[in-house]
Amino acid sequence: MTPEFVTAFAQEAIKTTILVSLPILVIGLVVGLAVSIFQAVTQINEMTLTFVPKILAIFLGLVLFGGWMMELMVRFTVNTIEQIPNYIR
């Protein structure tokens, strides 16, 4: 294995990780920001108010983006397994 190969493989793994996690992180960020603004405007300081909307939004995000996320992970895994003969050279 050459240093270029290891660098390319690590780059592809990081890119896949970012692409898979990005939709859920963005949804959590947007909902968290909206709840924080709502709490600041209404001066409600209920701790559970931050968790329930985030959990529901992230669950909805997983339902919407789950297929795409799984396809991306499966494609990366299949590509990695198919390339094993090239890795051991």
pLDDT digits (tens, 9 = 90+) for 72-83: 999 999 999 998
Q: Please write the tens of the pLDDT for every residue from 38-83.
A: 988 988 888 888 889 999 999 999 999 999 999 999 999 999 999 8
How far is 20 from 48, CA to CA, in rounded Å?
Answer: 27
How far is 88 from 19, CA to CA, in rounded Å?
Answer: 28
Three-class DSSP category at 4: helix
- Candidates 64, 70, 86; CA nearest to 9 is 86
Crossing angle of helices 3-42 and 48-82, rounded to 10°: 170
pTM beyond 0.85: no
